Amino acid sequence: MLGIFNKGLVQPPQELNSPAPLNSSVKPKHSQEILKDFISHSSNTFSISFGDATSFAYLPPEKSSSIHQRMFCAVDGIYCVFLGSLNNLCHLIKQYGLSKGTDEAMFVIEAYRTLRDRGPYPADQVLKDLDGSFGFVVYDNNAKTVFAALGGNEEIRLFWGISADGSVVISDKLEVVKGSCAKSFAPFPTGCMFHSDHGLKSFEHPTKKMKAMPRIDSEGVMCGANFKVDVQSKIHSMPRVGSESNGAIWGSHT
């Protein structure tokens, strides 16, 4: 999967940008080039764009080689790509009053929409209730917000980076993000969530701050930072790495 979000829509942690010189031999690509390259690898790729603000591209998994589920869903202007599976999906469906045919991507959208419209309710508590291996990216075209999260068991991996035009690129394919963002990329931290309004936070340790850990590649070049939970810290609000902005709910301010 691939998500590209314009810098006017998403402000990532500052430390995700590599301080490597722009004249490096490896250069980041622009958003449209990244999307075009991703689509060109398979005739089965589905993509959708919203002007120059957001693009989603999704390649259905091949049954013979896929280890984890990969799903795409859209409901009332909310779009979700979900990777993995939830062991307690049946319980969650009953809890939220959803139909029996609801899959994981549909559940994430319905949970997001419920909490957006009926909140406030702590997003970290919602994500703690998800039992399984998962990673997802949600784009709300109505509220113009992005929400991404990755489970803590490390079976699903996501990567994010910064393109040449400053857009945030998220994918489960390391080679896609690395090839698109040059040195300005990093693994998306496990057990964490990112909201375009509220920034990066650990849902496993919501009272702990996130800290950026410098990364040096095999060429000795500084790359985008890894983000880890600072186990020594204690906070009472959601920190935004690289920003003073704070928030506490899953949803929008609109």
**pLDDT 10s per residue in the chain (254 long)?**
999 999 999 999 999 999 876 656 778 999 999 999 999 988 889 999 998 889 999 987 766 555 678 999 999 999 999 999 999 999 999 999 999 999 999 999 999 998 788 766 788 889 999 999 999 999 999 999 999 999 999 899 999 999 999 999 999 999 999 999 999 999 999 999 999 998 999 999 999 999 999 999 888 889 999 999 998 887 655 444 543 333 344 444 43
Phi-psi group of 84: left, alpha or beta (phi > 0 → left; psi -120 to 50 → alpha; rest → beta): left
The answer to whether the pTM exceeds 0.85 is yes
User: How many C-alpha atoms does 242 have within 13 Å on its Cβ side?
Assistant: 17
CA distance 122 to 207: 12
Cα 198 to Cα 240: distance, rounded to the nearest angstrom: 6
Name the residue with tokens 């089965």: 44
- What are the CA-CA distances from residue 1 to residues 4, 27, 114, 223, 238 (Å)? 10, 22, 25, 23, 28
- Cα separation, 73 vs 250, in Å, equals 19
CA–CA dist 95, 87 (Å, integer): 14
Q: How far apart are CA 21 and CA 2, in angstroms?
A: 26
* 51: alpha, beta or left? (left if phi > 0; alpha if psi -120 to 50): left
81, 115 contact by CB (below 8 A): no
What domains sit in the chain, N to C, each tagged with a CATH number?
A: 2-17+27-204 (3.60.20.10)
What is the C-alpha separation between 81 and 56, in angstroms, rounded?
9
The angle at the Cα of 231, spanning 115 to 125, to the nearest 5 degrees, equals: 15
